[in-house]
Amino acid sequence: MEDPPALAPPEPEPEPEPEASPAPPQRLLRLRCAVQHYEWGQHGAASLVARLADQNPDPARPYAELWMGTHPSGPSTLLGDGALLRDWLARNPDALGPAVAARWGGDLPFLFKVLSVAKALSIQAHPDKKLAEVLHALRPSTYKDDNHKPEMAIAFTEFRALCGFAPIEELKDVLRTVPEIEGLIGHEDTGKLMNMKEYDGVSEVKSSLRSAFAKLMTASKDMVSEAVAKLISRLNTDSKIRNLTDKEQLVLSLERQYQDDVGVLAALFFNYVKLSPGEALYIGPNEPHAYLSGECIEIMATSDNVVRAGLTPKYRDVQTLCSMLTYKQAFPEILRGVPVQPHVRRYTPPFNEFEVDCCLVPPGELLVISPVPGPSVFLVMTGEGEIQLDSMSGGEKAKEGDVFFVPAYTEVKISACGPESVLLYRAGVNSRFFS
């Protein structure tokens, strides 16, 4: 009997092939976004934020801000599996594009918002990057990140704000007509400002303005209360015999919201800005401002750092605010958007982190948005339509309140399906950054 043939040795298993580098993900992500119920927000269905975010808003609850982004104080999640957008981006860095991923550490550099303002926000400023790092290290529970926070607001309704210091001649008029302020800042500082000329050195004017403003903001609570009471009483009397100025009417309104608050007086130091729908205002680091009323689209660097000093029940850091301000005296630039293609207007502030496109797509039309080398977030404000990526065989329905993340290098097609136009806003990285 023959021996059985020897078995051949098993062939070695082939080595697994290395995985190919992932292509940029061509996926349209629907987002669920956070709502902030700050007490200054508009209530219930009267709030644009509520109408965008909640089908059944509570009429007794304020809906102040809708946050679209990755900031940990209000992170967006993926509709469906609930994963954080920030975690998805960490797994899919190509969605940011190489330049954005390298510059901003694999995260969205902007935070997109909608604001519904019923009551004045605090007199505040946002620190520059260097100061933000210092404040975060010293008081992380108050200053929750180490980033700067330049921002831009685009009015959706009539929108009111204070922004930057008024020109010297306007401040002189305040000192002449509001003796209550002179009583708080003193004769010496009042005299210096009254003797200033438009052509005096910038540093000299800033020094005098800084000293006077700091005296006002650090005056004792009793002195402020007495000064506010006198001013309000006088304005109420004057209103019976003359028409009050816009700023005088603003003072009365602020006092009804924040009794005995130094911010009622400080408002007279700032530019009073009135935006019509479609107009925009941008605010750089260390510039004083306060939003007063109305609804807007807002975008900023990914930060929630706010230094407050008036018109607020929250923590006030008066010394930091007074020391950090630029004390520039100029009326802020108003942006109205620049057409970049049919149906699209672009708002481009002087900050790398962000820009905003306003897209109004008429019924029966198709809007094609060319690929950009950074990520985008789309918010549908009004109307019903369809949004489609260049790699998708079919589109997704898009209606009021829908929010989508679109990866870098992705063409987007938007069409209106109903009888009315579709209004969308696109937040993205400033185009200048890529050039």
Catalytic residue among 308, 316, 345, 426: 308
Contacts of 189 (CB under 8 A, 6+ apart): 208, 211, 212, 215
- Is 124 annotated among the ligand-binding residues? yes
Asked whether the CA dihedral 390, 396, 397, 399 is positive or negative, the reply is negative
**Residue 37, annotated ligand binder?**
no
* 151 marked among binding-site residues: yes
Question: CB of 213 within 8 A of CB of 269?
Answer: yes
Active site (annotated) includes residue 234: no
Q: For residues 241 and 251, what is the distance between their CA atoms, to the nearest angstrom?
A: 18
Contact between 421 and 407 under an 8 Å Cβ cutoff? The reply is no
Q: Is 42 annotated as a binding residue?
A: no
Q: Which residues are catalytic?
A: 308
Q: Which residues line the annotated binding site?
A: 124, 126, 151, 289
Task: Detail the residues annotated as belonging to a binding site for Zn(2+).
Answer: 124, 126, 151, 289
